[in-house]
Structure formats: structure tokens, C-alpha cells
């Protein structure tokens, strides 16, 4: 089993800020242990190119059956936004191809996604819309 680094609201917010995004976040969770997906935290980051990432951690993972280490978020779901609406990336990028969400993302991959989205030139959207590729 791969030992994944736990992510918190603060660690994800810091990661997006270090990548150049303006961020906002909130956290909380359901006290109902029977709920299949508890809300943990969400972080939204907006980059200078107008693209944004909406990171949501809903699923708690348990370090062991008796919760000796407590509940953590190893994996998060990430959605891409453009002008306030969910969108895929243009063709040619390694993420968000044909979908506006990447699910089950671990910390290193989230960092790669943030750097990728930061570097997208928004004119590529216009070009691919004109050519019919988007």
C-alpha cells in the first residue's frame, strides 16, 4: 500500500497560493459516522489567467480500525473552472481532458495540476473554439 501524505485545508490552500492562486477555503464535517461521504474541506483558487481550481475533500480515510491516527484526507476531487463555470482543459494538456473534474487526486498530482493550470494561456481556449477542437 502506498503511504499518501494527508492533506488539510491549510496545506491545500498553501499549495495553491505557492502556485500563484488567490484562494479561499472552508471546512467542517458531518458527525454522522454512517454517512458515506462526510464533508471535510474545500479550497478554491483563482489564477491570473482566469482559470480556477475547486478542491473538495469529502471522503475521510481511517489510518487504522480504531482511529488511533484519526481521520485524514489522502485523496481529493479537483474541478477546473473558467469564467465561473466548470470546464475541461483544451486538448494537449495531461489533465481535465473531456471532463471538468479529476477524482481521487493525491498531493503530488494536485501540485502538478496546479502548475499545469497556472501555465495555460487562455487564448488557447479561443483558438480551439474557433477550430472546433473544444
Q: Could you tell me the residue range of the domain that residue 93 belongs to?
A: 9-131
Q: Residue 9: phi, psi to the nearest 5?
A: -55, -45
Is residue 50 a part of any domain in this protein? yes
Residue 7 CA neighbour count, 13 Å, CB half? 31
Count of domains observed in the chain: 1
**pLDDT tens, position by position, 31-81:** 555 554 455 788 999 999 999 999 998 765 555 554 445 556 778 899 999
Give dist(CA 119, CA 78) in Å, integer: 17
98 vs 5, higher pLDDT: 98
Is residue 3 a part of any domain in this protein? no
Q: Residue 100: phi, psi to the nearest 5?
A: -105, 10
Is residue 4 a part of any domain in this protein? no
End-to-end distance of the chain based on CA atoms, in angstroms? 38
Confidence at residue 128, expressed as pLDDT on a 0 to 100 scale: 84
Give dist(CA 124, CA 121) in Å, integer: 6
31 vs 12, higher pLDDT: 12
Is residue 1 a part of any domain in this protein? no
Is residue 2 a part of any domain in this protein? no
Amino acid at each position: 500500500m502506498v503511504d499518501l501524505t494527508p492533506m488539510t485545508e491549510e496545506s491545500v490552500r498553501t499549495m495553491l497560493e505557492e502556485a500563484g492562486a488567490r484562494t479561499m477555503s472552508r471546512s467542517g464535517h458531518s458527525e454522522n459516522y454512517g454517512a458515506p461521504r462526510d464533508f471535510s474541506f474545500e479550497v478554491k483558487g483563482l489564477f491570473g489567467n482566469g482559470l480556477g481550481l475547486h478542491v473538495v475533500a469529502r471522503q475521510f480515510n481511517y489510518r487504522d480500525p480504531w482511529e488511533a491516527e484519526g481521520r485524514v484526507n489522502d485523496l481529493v476531487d479537483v474541478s477546473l473552472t473558467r469564467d465561473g463555470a466548470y470546464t475541461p482543459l483544451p486538448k494537449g494538456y495531461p489533465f481535465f481532458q473531456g471532463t471538468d473534474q479529476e477524482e481521487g487526486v493525491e498531493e503530488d498530482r494536485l501540485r502538478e495540476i496546479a502548475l499545469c493550470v497556472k501555465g495555460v494561456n487562455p487564448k488557447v481556449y479561443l483558438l480551439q473554439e474557433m477550430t472546433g477542437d473544444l
